[in-house]
Amino acid sequence: MFFSGGININKQTIFAGVATALITPFDKTNGVDYQCLKRLIEFQIANNTQAIVICGTTGEAPTLGVKEHKKIIDFSVQTARGRIKIIAGCGSNDTRHAVMMSRYAERAGAYGLLSISPYYNRPCEDGLKKHYLEIADSVSLPIILYNVPTRTGVDMSVNLYKSLSSHPNIVGIKEASDSFSKCTRIFEAVGDYLDIYAGNDQSFLGYLALGGKGVISVASNLVPSKMMDIYRYYTSGKKHLAERAFMRMLPFINALTKRVNPVMIKYAMHKAKMCDNRLRSPLLAVKEGDTEAEIIKKALMGDYAYEG
């Protein structure tokens, strides 16, 4: 039997619906473009997104210095002014650093934390457990665990989720593995204790069908209300409309995967005049004339096009 959804016993739900994994815009000097960041946050608020995740994979967190990381958290919280939930990406492959950034985000006023598994180190399961418990013990904020094995080289097991689910500050999972079989086992094992979010836009509808709480989305950088439509239709019982809305979005969602995230979404947003097409090395931007550029242009001409 699959999880019926929405229980999360005695724990705080950070959000239900769509949270945008926000890009970090850069200016001509390769610094953070805070004026653009403000516009992007206001755009998400205006389109009724449920939360914003800053300094995550889509936000190019590995290329942010500590001072920049802290300033983006401060700036985002201050810009939001409580109008939207700010979830701070504070993960690291150094547990001490992850604890330090998590504590900083709490002091800055973040609503919750997204904590990615340590990348490159490839710790054993006991090491992963110790890492996450040290973070969870260091703060009082609710934490979403982020499992993305293609990025980190480690895959959190269902048994590890079960073990961590008893911690009061660990409230959710962003699961970005490609195994649907594993996903069903996660829902069966911990669905009553942890909110489960799709970590890939392609999985959004499938996760809702299993009882998931929503999605942490890349596509919603550009089309937040269209991603929210899928959630609203599904949770209001209009599943056929949710399926139709999802299928209309799918060509754009698939286009965003043609290069590693956030290369494609930044190019799409640049074409929509939302930000400059700038990434930090070692990522390279899509150029005019690239095959991927033509794919995005075609997607932007569809009925899932930019809604600004």
Residues known to be catalytic: 146, 174
State the DSSP H helix or E strand holding residue 88, giving kind and residue range, or none if neither: strand 85-89
H, E, C per residue of 21-67? ECCCCECCCCCECHHHHHHHHHHHHHCCCCEEEECCCCCCHHHCCHH
The dihedral built from the CA positions of residue 200, 202, 228 and 14, taken in this order, carries a sign that is negative
Among candidates 131, 141, 161, which has minimal Cα distance to 73? 141
| DSSP code, position 117 | P
C-beta separation of 226 from 299 below 8 A: no
CA distances from 230 to 20, 80, 183, 298 (A): 14, 24, 20, 22
Structure tokens at 51: 């939360």
Where helices occur in the chain by DSSP H, the ranges are 34-46, 66-80, 95-108, 125-138, 149-152, 158-164, 180-190, 204-210, 224-235, 239-255, 263-271, 291-300
- Nearest 5°: the CA angle 90, 93, 96 is 70
Measured distance CA(123)–CA(21) in Å, rounded: 26
C-beta separation of 135 from 98 below 8 A: yes
C-beta separation of 223 from 249 below 8 A: yes
Burial class (CB in 10 A: 0-12, 13-18, 19+), 9: exposed
Among candidates 207, 200, 252, 208, which has minimal Cα distance to 226? 252
